[in-house]
């Protein structure tokens, strides 16, 4: 009787030990999967710096930059118009960073601008989310706006037409390397300190996964 009991205890212990190691493997695989996910997010932003910027800003720049710079053959008027245009787009980057969205009880989606009191919707502020304080402007928004601005300056300032217009003697190595370096640094910061806002025209920040979800 005692021998049978001892054997049962040994078998139970071995099974428990196997389960223990199996759980460790599961945790390791989960951590490894999250690690590769973060690396993929960083590399995606590094490879495409424009993915960190508002879609409307990138679209406007891609359409009008060649026209305003005359494909890099700038005169005095072209330089002034391009500078004003870039300044407007830089302001738009900051503006779009502070936009957010929410759904009402009926499921309808509303967009607005974050303020210190909550969110002001574009329909005159008549609609409000259930918890307005969750959408108020925070210091983190200033941080993300700065990242967006830096990304735009690196993307637009080192564009071929802009470089040819303002500083044609700039080495090609600089125009190729700086956007990659800026993209890597900004991507790391976006992944480590993700924005919880689901604003207008941010495909990178609007992903429906836990890294970018509002908690």
pLDDT digits (tens, 9 = 90+) for 167-195: 888 888 888 888 888 888 888 888 788 87
Its pTM stands at 0.68
Q: Give the pLDDT confidence score for residue 202 in this predicted structure.
A: 63
**In this predicted structure, which of 27-31, 84-88, 163-167 has the lowest mean pLDDT?**
27-31
Instruction: Say how far apart CA 117 and CA 136 lie, in whole Å.
Output: 5
Q: Give the pLDDT confidence score for residue 86 in this predicted structure.
A: 95
State the chain's mean pLDDT as an integer: 75
Compute, in degrees rounded to 10, the torsion defined by CA atoms 185, 189, 190, 192. 140
Reading the block at residue 18, the tokens are: 């196997």
Q: Give the pLDDT confidence score for residue 186 in this predicted structure.
A: 85
Query: pLDDT tens digits, residue range 114-146?
Result: 888 888 888 766 777 777 778 888 888 899 899
Q: Give the pLDDT confidence score for residue 35 in this predicted structure.
A: 55
Q: Which residues neighbour 8 within 8 Å (Cβ) at sequence distance 6 or greater?
A: none
- Containing 15, the helix (H) or strand (E) segment is helix 2-47
Phi, psi of 15 (to 5 degrees): -65, -40
In this prediction, residue 5 has a pLDDT band, given cuts at 50, 70 and 90, of very low
Instruction: Say how far apart CA 197 and CA 102 lie, in whole Å.
Output: 10
């Amino acid at each position: 009787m005692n021998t049978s009991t001892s054997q049962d205890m040994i078998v139970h212990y071995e099974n428990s030990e196997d389960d223990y190691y199996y759980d460790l493997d599961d945790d390791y695989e989960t951590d490894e999967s999250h690690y590769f996910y973060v690396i993929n997010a960083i590399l995606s932003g590094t490879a495409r710096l424009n993915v960190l910027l508002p879609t409307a800003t990138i679209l406007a720049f891609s359409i009008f930059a060649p026209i305003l710079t005359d494909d890099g053959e700038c005169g005095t008027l072209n330089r002034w118009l391009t500078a004003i245009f870039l300044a407007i787009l830089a302001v738009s980057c900051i503006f779009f960073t502070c936009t957010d969205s929410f759904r009402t009880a009926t499921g309808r989606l509303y967009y607005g601008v974050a303020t210190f009191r909550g969110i002001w919707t574009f329909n005159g502020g008549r609609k409000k989310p259930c918890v307005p304080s969750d959408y108020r402007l925070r210091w983190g928004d200033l941080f993300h706006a700065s990242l967006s601005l830096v990304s735009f300056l690196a993307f637009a300032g080192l564009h071929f037409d802009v470089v040819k217009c303002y500083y044609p003697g700039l080495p090609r190595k600089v125009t190729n390397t700086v956007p990659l370096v800026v993209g890597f640094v900004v991507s790391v910061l976006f992944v480590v300190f993700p924005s919880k806002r689901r604003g207008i025209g941010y495909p990178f920040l609007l992903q429906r996964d836990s890294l970018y979800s509002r908690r």
